[in-house]
Amino acid sequence: MPEVKVPELAESITEGTIAEWLKQVGDSVDKGEAIVELETDKVNVEVVSEEAGVLQELLADEGDTVEVGQAIAVVGEGSGNNTSESSTKQEDTKATDNSNKEQQSSESSESSESTGSKSEASSQDNGQRVNATPSARKYAREKGIDLSEVSPSSNDVVRKSHVDQSQKQSNTQQSQPAAKEETKKPAQQNPSKPVIREKMSRRKKTAAKKLLEVSNNTAMLTTFNEIDMTNVMDLRKRKKEQFIKDHDGTKLGFMSFFTKAAVAALKKYPEVNAEIDGDDMITKQYYDIGVAVSTEDGLLVPFVRDCDKKNFAEIEDEIGNLAKKARDKKLGLDDMVNGSFTITNGGIFGSMMSTPIINGSQAAILGMHSIITRPIAIDADTIENRPMMYIALSYDHRIIDGKEAVGFLKTIKELIENPEDLLLES
């Protein structure tokens, strides 16, 4: 029968996690129809069936880690159910029939075999059917384990891992005397203090690993500057309504100003647009700027391509589209790879100052922060309240010297404080 296999995802991605089965055993499947959602290090990907037919078997459970090329389902010929509910009923009926057959045959078999099948059958006869995946149910029957005695870790769904854990606990209890077992139980620390223990998502684990790698494998420093936002805020205020009319409702935000300023600064200081590859330094001649987006699953960094060739409206549109795709979990792998520089805006959360961590193999990252009205000395005799923003550049000192880092931030500052120059630069 045709197998559904994990497809090639991206050069740097070799495995993923089963996030959700979109089809269940017994459901009809069309050619090219998505049957499972796969969570990778970067984005969620829907895996489609290359054949039409009926989903015969699931070879992996939700939460399992699977590798590229691994078979995860079997599609056979025929017509099946149209909904997961009907497939579930079919599975229930099939499982009950199999249990009854096992119970009948077990009367003439060895007592050790009859124990497992009878215990499962009795729990089903009492109307207390355990909520378990098909593979876990089959696995428990093979092991002779009563599913009603297996405790799931979350969502009340029993999986194969829970069956294994239950068997290990049972074997431990049988092999050790009760007295010794009591003495070997680890003491709970602060039993009166409530805690929640849960497994980290693949994306969060990957982010944690990569952030640690960046910290360990780069000579990362951060330098700061501050920007008087008065002129750019006045320009936005004056051009706001006309910009919306001229560009079909697109709003003029701060990100397009900082993106265009970053492109100009990268052209002036090309080392900031570089990365190290072994003994080589690669200086990028393109300007794909990553914009950090906060989602329920954590921070994602999609890239706005060819920012040097886009105008303000095109950049604002692209940022808005990528942010929406990120929050709707619709980002593709192409949106997430091969960027040259990243901008992150902690100011939207109220951050006044921070030291952002470099994104992947890039050489630097620009951090924006809250705009706060502060008293500023205009000259020796004048102090005025001005809307001020701190900016930060975290950079890899192996590639970028302090002089270039300071010059880069100074260029950003000068262009934002004189937005007409930025428009001419663009």
- Provide the 10 A C-beta neighbour count for residue 419: 21
Q: Which two tokens stand for residue 169?
A: 């606990």
Region of 120 (left: φ > 0; alpha: ψ -120 to 50; beta: rest) is alpha
Q: Residue 323 is inside which H or E element, if any?
A: helix 312-327
User: What are the angstrom distances between the C-alpha of 315 and each of 113, 233, 236, 329, 391?
Assistant: 67, 18, 15, 21, 21
322-323-328 Cα angle (round to 5): 95
User: What are the angstrom distances between the C-alpha of 338 and each of 30, 212, 302, 359?
Assistant: 34, 20, 10, 11
Query: Hey, which residues are catalytic here?
Result: 397, 401
Give the integer Cα–Cα distance in Å for 119 and 70: 34
What is the Rg, in whole angstroms, of the alpha carbon atoms belonging to the chain? Answer: 29
- Residue 77 is given by DSSP the state S
Give the integer Cα–Cα distance in Å for 35 and 21: 6
